[in-house]
Structure 1
Amino acid sequence: MQIDRRSFVAGTLALGVPQLVRAQGAGPIRIGEINSYTAQPAFLKPYRQAWELAQEQINAAGGVLGRKLETVFRDDAGKPEDAVRHAADLATAEKVDIIAGGFLSNVGLALADYANQNKRLYVASEPLADALVWSKGNRYTFRLRPSTYMQAAMLVEEAAKLPAKKWAIVAPNYEYGQSAVKWFKELLLKARPDVTFVAEQFPALGRIDAGATVQALEAAKPEAIFNVTFAVDLANFVRAGNTRGLFEGRQVVSMLTGEPEYLDTLGAETPEGWIITGYPHADLQTPEHVKFRDAYKAKYNDYPRLGSVVGYETVQAIAAALTKAGSTDNEKLVDAFEGLSFTTAFGPIAFRKIDHQSTLGAYVGKSAQKNGKGVMVDWSYRDGAKYLPSDDEVRKLRPVVG
């Protein structure tokens, strides 16, 4: 028995298939979230908690476009190849509408390449490498967090005021560390042509030989140090440096160190007086932040970390883009993210159309100890929009503009 297409369509209409389609369309909007949960738990546990808080709040308020948000989480274990495999599975088997996440820069770059090749929106929450939005930027990739360039520029603003002329550097030997060092050196030399760099140490990520690293830096007799290590590498570096007196009489400028997930670990070993980027969660009293902090504390009986802010605002960005697009259509969502603006716990931000980098800023201050805990003092917020290159400069850095 044969049936032509017209008869088939007429029959399905009579059977009420449009109602079935509408019912399916009313299902949840699905987000596929990929991250290094087992590799970087200090940052990503609070990240996921705040992600789930944001999703819960949005759904309680009626969802987006009249539909609930639903997230399918995947753990890449810090491996780019696993992240790409998860992305393909989420897109094909799980039928997610949006792919998001990423912590390590090499993982984020792998996901961005997947997004570009498959023409799928990727909302990068955390990877900091500048290549993500510049040299390897593409139409389908957007980043929330301030990049290595932005944070280096914020720190250089303070480093240039120091009397130090001889600098040493320590950074993890992968994309994030190399990018941070590149921009710090370039921007500091532009601000202070009298500066020289007398030593550089690039230990493997997560495997720093802290004693040897400290010894090599000490041998160069720098007047100041730029540190880019984080997590367990930072703790080991600080411990060895404190033991061997590396930081005595030397100024240290340090990226990420002021984030609670790392200050909590340092505790009573926190060096005092370092110039740092971070998040002074206990002292930040803006209405937007208090509302976020109180909701997080109420749900988890704990204070938020910077990962919490990143997870929460990634979901808020996705919800804002969905609302602006009025659709889950991939290309419409990409268009919606270009120029998208919304208010975060740190204040209003936007995703720049030219390079897909958000203008979320960071806090710059100094490290200190209070009651045996590491804290951030003398801090101020640096608006990310003020620490990004001009459109003309971006056109030189990014082969695909917009």
Structure 2
Amino acid sequence: MNRPLFRWLLAALAGMLVLGLAACGQEEEGTPQPGASPAAASPTRGTITLGLIDMFSSATQQYIANSIRAGFEIAIEEANAAGGVAGYRIEVVTADMGESTDRAVAEAQRLVNERGIRLITIGINSGAAVALAELAKNRQDFLVNGAFATTRRLTGESGSRWAARANISTVEIGGTMAQFLRDKSQIRTVAIVAPDYEYGRHFAEDFKAQLGRIRPDVRVVREEFPPLGARDMTPHVAAVQAARPDLVVTAVFGGDLINFLRAARDLGLTPGTQLFIHGVDLVKMETLRDVLPDGSWGTAWYPFWAVSSQASQDFLNKYRAKTNDIPVAGSLTGYYAGKMLVEAIRKAGSGDLAAVISALDSGVEFDGPVGRVSVRGCDHMALGPFYVGEVRRGSEYPGGIGLANVVPIQVSQVARSCEEIARVRGG
């Protein structure tokens, strides 16, 4: 062999050796190196885009809408930080419906038709949730997931395989409150105050139905339905006061609740009459500090100050870092909405709509800030704990007010059965 050729072969072999040694330190893209955490992996199969529609520009509902978005995004950020889902990175596209159901429908159609998005979450508005549930059932080319809407029709009367829900409905709310009253023998008469639209009417119907089943000895002596946004609650408080109930159950919220509580205080209904307020953590409880009497009972989705788990603390830390605020009800249900889609995609192995729906049909589970959550197959409803407690003031609570003696009630105990869901759907 001549010397030039020999030198060339040696150089080539040396180069191959260097390349081989370098290759030993590399992994195929998207595969974690030995000993690396799953978060080190990079998704390689592409991106799955989720849609989120809510009342982001609404003057009255913007705070709740943003709390839902923050919780939803945390669920997605966790999934991406862990290497994605089934090899995919998840991204979120938001759309603003303002205060218009028609606009929510138009935005959903745009996301499906123009962006090809098949998994769409709707936030707080029940009317929009029902409209999208009907649209999804008719089109059968996207899934609508309700992050907060409490209408029972979303996965009940208007429900189908193309609908899901992360939040409880008025059925479960009524059942939780009635369950809490099971051993409150001092309560024999009740008045109900709820807003005059579908949510309020359904709340009253469902609470009465559940109360009749659990405490048939209790009589409802008055029902008041003030219009949404009512500034003067005096006539409604006076009517309740005249009925002399042992307990006043309310489903009004936000500014309406503050106006009701002020009128109740000014007319002398409180503090002498026991109150049971649904949804004290829809917004920060400190907004009720000046008007909500100590000793009132209240329901809450996420009384984080009373949940002593590492998962809750981790979520609280992430939420504070993201928003510079404390979580409220929508923060938790928004997280559930994102998490249940993540787990359905993981189980399906892709973002294919039919595969994701089949995954939901067979049920998915995940761990949340307050414990294990199961999404049952018959109606794709997330089932976890809901809380009842007693209003207290003190420095240990955020903003100086919170719930004490908090009792978790499992939603699965008060939810409609799968047989009932099939019946109301006409099956």
TM-score above 0.5, yes or no: yes
**Of 369, 392, 405, the match for 1:345:** 369
SS of residue paired to 1:269: coil
Q: Deviation per CA, 1:309-358: give whole Å up to 9, x if none.
A: 12222111111111111121111111111211111112111111122222
Structure 2 partner of 1:149: 171
Structure 2 partner of 1:379: 406
Structure 2 partner of 1:35: 54
For the pair 1:398 / 2:398, whether they are aligned, the reply is no
Please give the alpha-carbon distance, in whole angstroms, between the structure 2 residues aligned to 1:65 and 1:97: 17
- What is the deviation of 1:103? 0.7
Structure 2 partner of 1:73: 94
Q: Which amino acid aligns with 2:305?
A: A
Please give the alpha-carbon distance, in whole angstroms, between the structure 2 residues aligned to 1:50 and 1:355: 22
For the pair 1:365 / 2:389, whether they are aligned, the reply is yes
- 8 Å CA contact 2:389, 2:404 repeated in 1: yes
Please give the alpha-carbon distance, in whole angstroms, between the structure 1 residues aligned to 2:337 and 2:419: 28
- 8 Å CA contact 2:165, 2:380 repeated in 1: yes
Q: Given the superposition, is the C-alpha separation of residues 238 and 151 from structure 1 closer, same or farther in structure 2, using an over 3 Å criterion? A: same
Which moves more between the two structures, 233-242 or 51-60? Answer: 51-60
For the pair 1:264 / 2:286, whether they are aligned, the reply is yes
Please give the alpha-carbon distance, in whole angstroms, between the structure 1 residues aligned to 2:185 and 2:284: 25
**Of 70, 91, 104, the match for 1:49:** 70
Please give the alpha-carbon distance, in whole angstroms, between the structure 2 residues aligned to 1:320 and 1:265: 35
Unaligned runs of 5+ in 1: 1-24
Q: Any residues of structure 2 matched to 1:19-30 within 5 Å, and which?
A: 26-30=45-49
Q: Report % sequence identity.
A: 31
Q: Which amino acid aligns with 1:350?
A: S
Structure 1 partner of 2:308: 285
Structure 2 partner of 1:355: 379
**Of 299, 302, 307, the match for 2:330:** 307
- 8 Å CA contact 2:250, 2:276 repeated in 1: yes
- 8 Å CA contact 2:76, 2:342 repeated in 1: no
Q: Deviation per CA, 1:181-208: give whole Å up to 9, x if none.
A: 1111111122233322222111222335
Q: Deviation per CA, 1:189-231: give whole Å up to 9, x if none.
A: 2223332222211122233532222122222222211100111
- 8 Å CA contact 2:166, 2:334 repeated in 1: no
Please give the alpha-carbon distance, in whole angstroms, between the structure 2 residues aligned to 1:98 and 1:177: 29
Indicate the RMSD between aligned Cα atoms, in angstroms. 1.9
SS of residue paired to 1:130: coil
SS of residue paired to 1:207: coil
Q: Deviation per CA, 1:229-259: give whole Å up to 9, x if none.
A: 11121111112212222123212222112x1
The TM-score with structure 1 as length reference comes to 0.88
The TM-score with structure 2 as length reference comes to 0.83
Q: Any residues of structure 2 matched to 1:81-160 within 5 Å, and which?
A: 81-119=102-140, 120-160=142-182
Pick the structure with greater CA Rg: 2
Q: Deviation per CA, 1:277-296: give whole Å up to 9, x if none.
A: 11211231112212211222
Please give the alpha-carbon distance, in whole angstroms, between the structure 2 residues aligned to 1:182 and 1:263: 27
Q: Deviation per CA, 1:103-139: give whole Å up to 9, x if none.
A: 1222211111111111121111111111212222111
Q: Given the superposition, is the C-alpha separation of residues 184 and 208 from structure 1 closer, same or farther in structure 2, using an over 3 Å criterion? A: farther
Q: Which amino acid aligns with 1:101?
A: I
SS of residue paired to 1:282: helix
Structure 2 partner of 1:20: none
- 8 Å CA contact 2:172, 2:414 repeated in 1: yes
Q: Deviation per CA, 1:349-387: give whole Å up to 9, x if none.
A: 111112222212211111222257331111022122222
- What is the deviation of 1:262? 4.6
- 8 Å CA contact 2:70, 2:322 repeated in 1: no
Please give the alpha-carbon distance, in whole angstroms, between the structure 1 residues aligned to 2:229 and 2:284: 14
Q: Given the superposition, is the C-alpha separation of residues 207 and 384 from structure 1 closer, same or farther in structure 2, using an over 3 Å criterion? A: same
- 8 Å CA contact 2:282, 2:330 repeated in 1: no
Q: Any residues of structure 2 matched to 1:163-178 within 5 Å, and which?
A: 163-178=186-201
Unaligned runs of 5+ in 2: 1-43
Please give the alpha-carbon distance, in whole angstroms, between the structure 1 residues aligned to 2:66 and 2:335: 12
Which moves more between the two structures, 240-249 or 313-322? Answer: 240-249
Please give the alpha-carbon distance, in whole angstroms, between the structure 1 residues aligned to 2:168 and 2:179: 16
Q: Which amino acid aligns with 1:148?
A: T
Q: Which amino acid aligns with 2:370?
A: F
Give aligned pairs, total: 375
Please give the alpha-carbon distance, in whole angstroms, between the structure 2 residues aligned to 1:234 and 1:107: 23
- 8 Å CA contact 2:174, 2:206 repeated in 1: yes
